[in-house]
Structure 1
Amino acid sequence: MVSNINTEVEEILDEPELTNITRISSAALNKKTRKQEKEKGKNVSFYNLLVYFLKLIFIDKAFLIIFGIGFVFAIVFGIMAKVQSSPIVVFNWYYLINTVLLLILVSRLVTYFLHNKFEDQTMTIIIQQKTKRITILISIWVAIFLGILALNILSTVSMVLLNTGNSYGIRYLFTNLAYQTACSIFFISFLFFLTLFCKQQIVSIILSFVLLSLFISSLPQQFFATKMNDTQITFVDRSGSSFMYKGSEINNALIFNENVNKGHIKFPHLSKYINDYYISKSYTIANYEGREELNSRMVMWSDLGIINTKEEPLLVNGSTTTKLKIDTITSRSGVTDFSKGDVVDIKLSFKNKFKNIESIKDVYETTDDAEHKAVLSDLIDFFNYYESTFKSVYPAISNEQEMLEKMWSSNYNNYGKYLSLQINSAVSTMSKPGKEVEPETNKNIEANITNAFFQSYIFNNYFATESSKNYDLSFSTNRNEPEYANNYKALMNAFSEQMYFELFIRILEDNFINQTSNYVIITESEVLRNENFNDYERYMKNYQLLNLVLFPANMNSYFNHYAGKEWDQYWFNFGSKSSINFESQDNIFFTNVKFKVVVNDENNKISGTQRPNIQLYLAIQVAFLLLTAAISVYLFIRKDLK
């Protein structure tokens, strides 16, 4: 048997410096002969040992099988990511599976050298040479590392080539390469230590627990989510009013603001522009629609150059007046001298209108301000995105007119906030001819159309269902009288076209105020330090301490943090004023870096957030790496390995 091993080693180690190994005869197991041969041997260089060990690795069938499986997984997941709408979700699964393969591969190679190659006497023969054992150990360590690095590089390059058009995916894959390369260093050191210190059965049991921990280490996060939903923290504003927020709501508000500031959201420049302005003005849902706030918000949009301040009459089929017929009227309308069946002339005049999309594109082209240009670009993209999404939701829409009508009928409740700053009620009127008893004194009977009049009786009634109309004053849409019904439709079409872009602005504003309102209240009000808050602080302290000692949990959470996501996929759900779930691309087995709010002791206000110290975590892991490496070297040098 020893003679066969000698022949095999001689064939693989065809190096001048290793000729001593090939001269060992079948009597190599004899202690005296080994001693004599060792005395005659020469020191084997690190390079030749490394080359030899690499050859051993790449002819090992188990390594080749695992290597092949890893590469096939990379190709399969690369193709899946290419055809999926959320490639990061696919890559997260690849990360987990590749980590498992990495652990298995490291375990196999360490066992291969420190167990198998001692059993078949290959390592025994090598140790007989004058080469220092630490050199042998390091060469084995480097050979294993290079073998694993080869798999990671080959897999990463293959996946990158399959996803060249996805910048977020490429960043993720290269981060994954760097991260798993670093992890392989820790795994190799750890498994060297286990294999040298423990029996093989114990190593297998520990490795099983490590693999299991990759998937169950996210359990504390599930408990964290439940705890945050159950935690209630009270805030008191300047007026003494109290507000109670769940821990999850506080986290969502802080995370939203943080991600907007980092540009981690779709339309990042537009989002930051709105978010910063709303927070600087301390807008909340309660004060958002006050007269002063409306003027301030109009200034925000005017600064971008998208407001037409010129007053203009609304033209309907080229005319400034439109004939409508009163269908119902009561005294509650506040309109006198008009009756059911009256044919009236409607005249409307507006200022401070939002420009249409074509005019905004012109503003974008001529703007020199780089910041405003970026915001305008996002605003144009938002318009196109929302229109495109709307058409996909309503595929039956076949032309622009249908699109216009459907958009307004679906979102008309969003309109009207700026109307008081737009309609000129002095010249916007509803009129009819006066009585002709005394022609020389005959005058038209008029009623001024205020913003409330227009919105309640003309605008809302046109889009509302029959059951929700305001019948204090309504106009005929009866198809038996097509002239007036068509006039009404023409009036609203003309208005809808002019105010079309404002509808998108209102949808955009409502999404943001629901987020910034919570943030303003949470950060500008005092925290009530009651038992609920004390319980929250205790829980967060224990949770962060637990995560510090959960190596797999930290490994996943920090990787998830640095690998990033496809941030341009994060936006508000279509058709709802909802928050954004920034964890939608995360894997169920991943943990996220959690933070606790920091409250200033002087004013009892939230002053920031506190996250686990990554430097401390890395220091602990590096210390563990050095400790296991040092013990491994000691055991390899001192222990009788023959």
Structure 2
Amino acid sequence: MNKKLFLYKSIPFRVLLLFNIKNIFHELVFLILNTLLIFSSLVFGIISRFFDTQVSLLVAFNFYILFFISCLLFILILRMVQFFFHNKIEDKTTFITLSNQVSRTKLFLSTWFLMVIVCIFNFLLSFIFINFLNFSLNKFKLNELLLNITLVFLIYGSICSILLVNFIIFLIFVFSLQTTTVICTLLLSLNFLANLPTSFQTANEKDMTIYIEKNSTPIAIKLTDIQDAFSLQKYVNEGKIKYSHLSKWINDKFLEAEYYENNFTTNEQNNRIRLENVWQPLGIIKSNPDLIERKNLKLYTVPSTDSAIDTSIWKAGDTIDIDLQLDYSFVNIDELNRMANEESDLEIKLILEDLFNFANYIKKQFASDLQIEKYNLFSDFIFVNSNSKIINKSKNNVTIPIKKDYLKTIFEFYLKGNYSSGYLTLDPTTARQFVTNDLNFELLFITRILENYFIKYTSHYLNTVNYKLLLNSGDWTKYEESRKKLNLFSYFNVFNGLWTNYTFNSGFSYEDFWFLPSSESKINFAEQKNLFLGYSDFTLKRNEYDKIDQYSYNNYIKPYYYLIALLIFSLITFIFVIYKFQKIDLK
């Protein structure tokens, strides 16, 4: 024992702390565990540079913190508590000598403080190593997502350290060393199983169907589609989605006008109103655009049942000219970029910037040819002016008015080979410039892609908040009952609740919350979640009108409830062990 301790009549807190540090650093297991903690941080800091996406980085980091906290840190705290409050009491000499020169409270607090500092120091080192290595290896570019989640990890881990230290000290003062070890082993196992009830519930809900009554007709909607629709509302309203300003604009316009998927594009007048309501206020629509003139085209097929076309005059192989005037057309991508740069209204400017960025993203995704990939979206925003005409140069300049259907069949026949007979089509050898240049409205396709992305989700949302649930049909009652049981269990599932505080504050890579480009309308909100961690999942809430409450996405157990409860419990155990330490026989 250090003889300098005897020089003090009352040993200072600082000296006690240094004395404990000297003791613990002679403990081999302590050194090994700390080395592993530091090594794991260095390894993750290095490999963090090589993840292709922010999603993969986030998923990997969440597994890393599970290993860091639930394995290494848990064992480190258990070992430190055993060392100070079992081994050092058992060997008697140290504590007997010290107890004659210092109050037991000061002795306890110095030991407790050291254990907490060791834990927090490990979290701080992890925070520094991971961010510094990622920053250095990433050509000195700061990864904001990594900085955010490691900062939350530092704060959350520090709080967890205090809770665990207090709890394990409490166990070792109440139970034997063997019993404490068994309890800690069980708790370590439960930590990985805490989220299983929620996982089972989520799996069961995938097969559930909810019925609503719409215009006296029952409508079936998959529960997962409703949940995704409400999730989209949550993230759009919070601005936590890619192209957030553009998304907010489209979402709000669709909800305000109450567009529904079943009649979204079936009526030309509805399409015209939607174009004027959603896209024209952004300034990207040109009214009465320039006349499109294309000469010396050849007819490939002629419709036989169209009353506007005299088949005795109009024949395949005739040379024609087209004078096309549209009521509306979209600006091109370069004009959109110029408009975004020059726009003075900040809200519109941010929306236009998002639209420009999305346009470039889509063009990159469909690098082969956007026209070919999304040819089916061409006709919805095509409104042909009555002055448009086809001139038959082979038959004394006989004319017929252009119909939208003519443009559609010409367009699709050239690109996909559809409508090979019985419709008006052009010889592909003469139609190339007309289709790929004159009818290539890139922003038309891009806006229609966006509309298809959102209409499914906003339509499900409107259906469930505007129309009554059929409680005696489908799985709504089953859903309500199972959710009540899960929520009740969650109040006592402290491990899950504790992890929820971390996931709630660390969040997700919101820039990756976006629709899959290969799908018509699919956004995956679950791919960033970790199977073993708890999340603040909302429960759909039925209001007094038997409709789903429009703000159900806010109906979840607030994570800080768990934290407050655990901190109160931890404070009680802390006071208890101080009292217990005062009474314990050290001789």
Distance across 2 between alignment mates of 1:126 and 1:559: 43
More deviation in 365-374 or 534-543? Answer: 534-543
Does 1:261 find its partner at 2:237?
yes
Letter in 1 for 2:389: S
Displacement after TM superposition at 1:270 (Å):
1.0
Residue pair 2:11, 2:101 contacting (<8 A) in 1 also: yes
**What SS class does the counterpart of residue 131 from structure 1 fall into?**
coil
Structure 2 counterpart of 1:472: 422
Who is 2:459 aligned against? Answer: 517
> Letter of the aligned partner of 1:236 in structure 2?
E
Q: 1:377 to 1:330 in 2, by over 3 A?
A: closer
Aligned residue number for residue 590 of structure 1: 533
Shift of 1:52: 2.0
Uncovered stretches (5+) of structure 2, i.e. residues with no partner: 136-141
SS in 2 for 1:263: coil
Are the structure 2 counterparts of residues 133 and 458 from structure 1 closer, same or farther at C-alpha, using a change threshold of 3 Å?
same
Letter in 1 for 2:465: T
Among 165, 186, 195, the residue aligned to 1:209: 186
Q: Distance in 2 between matches of 1:126 and 1:171?
A: 47
Whole-Å separation in 1 of the counterparts to 2:329 and 2:271 = 17
Tell me which residue corresponds to 1:447: 400
Task: Give 1:463's aligned amino acid.
Answer: L
Q: Give the structure 1 partner of residue 161 of structure 2.
A: 184
Map of 1:485-500 to 2, 5 A cutoff? 485-497=428-440, 499-500=441-442
- Aligned CA distance change for structure 1 residues 341 and 496 (closer, same or farther; 3 Å): closer
| Structure 1 residue 122, shift from structure 2 partner | 4.5
Aligned partner of 2:60 among 68, 90, 98: 90
Alignment pair present for 1:389 and 2:342: no
Shift of the alpha carbon at 1:59?
4.1
Q: Helix, strand or coil: the match of 2:180?
A: helix
Shift of 1:430: 4.4
CA RMSD in angstroms, aligned pairs only: 2.0
DSSP 3-state at the match of 2:399: strand
Shifted more, 54-63 versus 107-116: the winner is 54-63
The structural deviation recorded for 1:496 is 4.0
Q: CA contact under 8 A between 1:225 and 1:248: conserved in structure 2?
A: no
Runs of 4+ in 1 over 4 A off after TM superposition: none
**Other structure's SS at 1:346 match:** strand
Superposition pairs for residues 519-558 of structure 1, below 5 Å? 519-530=461-472, 532-558=475-501
- Given that residues 424 and 450 in structure 1 are in contact (C-alpha distance below 8 angstroms), is that contact kept between their aligned partners in structure 2? no
Q: Equivalent residue for 2:139?
A: none
Between the aligned partners of 2:548 and 2:201, the Cα distance in structure 1 is 23
Out of 103-112 and 594-603, give the one that drifted further.
Answer: 594-603
Cα deviation 1:350-396 (Å, max 9, x = unaligned): 242111111111111211111111111111111122222334xxxxx
Residues 126 and 378 from structure 1, CA distance in 2 versus in 1: closer, same or farther, beyond 3 angstroms?
farther
Alignment of 1:461 onto 2:413: yes
Question: Residue deviations 1:301-351, cap 9 Å, x none?
Answer: 12111112233112xxxxx23223223334224422312332222222224
Deviations 1:206-258 (A, max 9, x none): 11111111212221122111221233222223x22322223222211101110
Using the TM superposition, give the Cα deviation of residue 130 of structure 1 relative to its aligned residue in structure 2, in angstroms. Answer: 4.1
Matched, 1:75 2:75: no
Secondary structure in structure 2 of the residue aligned to 1:606: coil
TM-score of the superposed pair, with normalisation by structure 1: 0.84
Residue of 68, 75, 81 corresponding to 1:110:
81
Q: Name the counterpart of 2:6.
A: 19
**Matched residue type, 1:426:** N
Q: CA separation of 1:603/1:217 partners in 2, compared to 1, >3 Å: closer, same or farther?
A: closer
Work out the number of aligned pairs and report it. 569
| Partner deviation per Cα, 1:274-317 (whole Å, 9 max, x = no partner) | 11111111111123223235323333212111112233112xxx
2:301 matches 1:328: yes
Q: Which amino acid aligns with 1:451?
A: K
Shift of 1:470: 4.5
C-alpha contact 2:301 2:420 (8 A) present in aligned 1: no
Q: Separation in 2 of the partners of 1:433 and 1:325? A: 10
Partner of residue 145, structure 1 = 116
- Give the corresponding residue for 1:300: 278
Equivalent residue for 1:428, pick from 378, 389, 393: 389
Report the equivalent of 2:226. 250
Distance 2:533 2:306 in 1: 60
1:633 aligns with 2:545: no
Q: Is the 8 A contact 1:364 1:376 kept in 2?
A: yes
1:408·1:496 contact (CA, 8 Å) conserved in 2? no
**Is 1:66 the counterpart of 2:33 in the alignment?**
yes
Q: Percent identity?
A: 27
Give distance in 2, aligned partners of 1:140 and 1:204: 20
Give the unaligned 5+ runs of structure 1: 1-5, 21-40, 315-319, 392-402, 435-442, 478-484
Task: Mark the CA change 1:203 to 1:46 in structure 2 (over 3 Å): closer, same or farther.
Answer: same
How many Å separate the matches in 1 of 2:87 and 2:240? Answer: 50
3-state DSSP of counterpart to 1:250: helix
